Amino acid sequence: MASTYTAVRQVRRPHRAPSPDDFTFVTGPVPDPADGQVVVRNLYLSVDPYMRELMDEGGWERGFGLEGRALGRVIASAAPALPVGATVFHRDGWSTHAVLDAADARPVDPPDGIGLSAYLGLLGGTGLTAYVGLTKIAQLRPGEDLFISSAAGGVGSAAGQLARLLGAGRVVGSAGSPGKVEHLTGRLGFDAAFDHHAGPIAEQLKAVAPQGIDVYFDNVGGDHLAAAIGALRKHGRVAWCGAIAQYNNPDDPPAAPANLYDVVHKALRIEGFLVRDHLEVRPEFEQFVIPHLLAGRVFSDETVVDGFERIVEAFLGMLRGSNTGKTLVRLD
């Protein structure tokens, strides 16, 4: 094959916030597939907050570039089950191409009316994370009140929409700007939201949820978790998904919430989770959400950046909060 890939690799560990200098672009020839393999030309790539942790941990390299969710089209095949033209999901992202064993490529065939990019957003790991956190970890029940931090991000925006479908009572969220607050209450249907830069989080949460909350979906940690513990009613639950507050300060994480003993006093439950431990839930999740997506009751909230050459820009922008919803890179 006369194809050349372009990929991104990490060249140094960042000091606190990452920068473009922490990455480099590389090129090379795309080999022919061996028996049981396919060559994929990527169409959409995902950038996610968890990747910031991988920059410190090492071992992020995968395929030609770095590990990341991706959607692509098979352009050469030595695997009968994945013919040329098939669309697949895989995890050899941050590259224009991937050479995959058939077992590492999952076919994707969107129903009419659903865009391919949704399989990296609401129908991808982002939406599945939100669904698992609400239904399996927090066990949200109809009528219960929910607080979501970083609610305008990919997982947060999915969680807010899914909570409505699950019959939640009041749904409130925090975001990083007045524009995002408006996005939550206008576009996504949150009952109330606040800008976490505008004042003490505990005070703002009390203002939008004066009667307290039953469930907290945590994407941030730090002061958000402390505020949520204070607002949770007896037997409240926390589904802890991420800790954006400390990603750029791995050597100096925030102190534990000062009100941690309220977990005992209120009989609260805090449970962290990784979606990769719950992949068996995907069929249930898709069966639940696809009819709602087709009917327009929910949508895949996305910020799309065009051009592979902008993938580092998209990643750093997502970490700074420049996106609403899921951040994707669309290759030309």
Residue 189 included in any domain: yes
Tokens 């129903």: give the residue: 111
Phi/psi at 223 (5° precision): -65, -30
pLDDT for the residue numbered 153: 94
Give me the pLDDT at residue 20, please: 97
In a domain, 264, yes or no: yes
pLDDT for the residue numbered 236: 98
CATH number for 246: 3.40.50.720
- Structure confidence at residue 252 as a pLDDT band (50, 70, 90): low
Mean pLDDT value of segment 28-51: 96
Do 113 and 80 share a domain, yes or no? yes
Average pLDDT on 32-55 reads 95
pLDDT of residue 254: 66
Residue 9 and residue 142: Cα distance in Å, rounded?
A: 45
pLDDT tier at 247, thresholds 50, 70, 90: low
Q: How confident is the model at residue 58 (pLDDT cuts 50, 70, 90)?
A: confident
What's the rounded mean pLDDT across residues 52-66? 91
Decide if 222 contacts 254 (C-beta within 8 A): yes
Task: For residues 137 and 252, state if they share a domain.
Answer: yes
- The answer to the question of residue 131 being in a domain is yes
pLDDT bucket at 302, cuts 50 / 70 / 90: very high
**Element at 163 (helix H, strand E):** helix 154-165
Residue 115 lies in a domain: yes
Distance of CA 275 to the CA centre of its chain: 10
What's the pLDDT at 242? 86
- Residue 231 and residue 163 in one domain: yes
Q: What is the pLDDT of residue 3?
A: 87
Instruction: Label residue 250 exposed, middle or buried (CB < 10 Å: 0-12, 13-18, 19+).
Output: middle
- pLDDT score of 205: 98
Residue-number span of the structural domain to which 316 is assigned: 4-121+300-330
Residues 8, 95 within the same domain:
yes
Helix axes 201-208, 222-231, angle to 10 degrees: 40
CATH of the domain at 82: 3.90.180.10
Q: Mean pLDDT over residues 198-227, rounded? A: 96
Are 116 and 130 within one domain? no
Nearest to 123 by CA among 328, 332, 330: 328
**Average pLDDT estimate for 289-311:** 96
Question: Do 186 and 250 belong together in one domain?
Answer: yes
Same domain, 149 and 257: yes
CA–CA gap between residue 129 and residue 276 (Å, rounded): 9
In a domain, 111, yes or no: yes
Same domain, yes or no: 21 and 67: yes
Same domain, yes or no: 42 and 132: no
The three-state secondary structure class of 76 is strand
Give domain status of residue 164, yes or no. Answer: yes
Considering the domain architecture, whether residues 131 and 252 belong to the same structural domain is answered as: yes
User: Rounded to an integer, what is the distance from CA 175 to the centroid of its chain?
Assistant: 15
The pLDDT confidence band at residue 133, using thresholds 50, 70 and 90, is very high
pLDDT of residue 55: 93
The per-residue pLDDT for 257 is: 87
How far, in Å, are 49, 58, 175, 215, 329 from residue 290 at the CA level?
25, 36, 27, 25, 23
Q: Are residues 189 and 324 in the same domain?
A: no
> Residue range 148-174: average pLDDT?
97
In sequence order, which residues have a C-beta less than 8 Å from that of residue 206 and are 6 or more positions away? 230, 231
Q: Assess if residue 326 is contained within a domain.
A: yes
Mean pLDDT of the chain: 94
pLDDT band at 1 (very low <50, low <70, confident <90, very high): low
What's the rounded Cα separation, in Å, for the pair 195 and 31?
49
Domains of the chain: total: 2
Residue 250 pLDDT greater than 60, yes or no: no
Per-residue pLDDT, 95: 98
What residues are paired with 237 via a beta bridge?
A: 215, 269
Chain segment 91-122, per-residue pLDDT in tens: 999 999 999 999 999 999 999 999 999 999 99
Same-domain pairing of 224 and 207: yes
Structural domain includes residue 217: yes
